[in-house]
């Protein structure tokens, strides 16, 4: 049984660029779909972080 030789560099590069492009495109689509949910999550996290200092001061 013959061993499989590694692919040449130009083949690896030729396969890597379309895969990276498609992954980036899919990531953008998913982020756009969940944009409102991500925005609400980020704002609520920042608000909780800022308000935790005030709550700590009031509990002293």
Mind listing the pLDDT tens digit for each residue in 25-36? 999 999 999 999
DSSP state of 5: P
Name the pTM for this structure: 0.59
What average pLDDT is seen over the chain?
Answer: 90
Q: Measured between alpha carbons, how far is 35 from 43 in angstroms, rounded to an integer?
A: 12
Domain ranges of the chain: 34-60
Residue 16 tokens, joined = 């890597």
Q: Label residue 3 by pLDDT band (50, 70, 90).
A: low
DSSP state of 1: -
Q: Measured between alpha carbons, how far is 21 from 30 in angstroms, rounded to an integer?
A: 14
């Amino acid at each position: 049984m013959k061993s499989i030789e590694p692919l040449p560099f130009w083949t690896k590069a030729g396969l890597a660029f379309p895969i990276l492009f498609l992954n980036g495109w899919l990531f953008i689509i998913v982020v756009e779909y969940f944009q409102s949910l991500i925005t609400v999550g980020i704002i609520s996290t920042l608000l909780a972080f800022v308000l935790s200092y005030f709550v700590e001061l009031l509990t002293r």
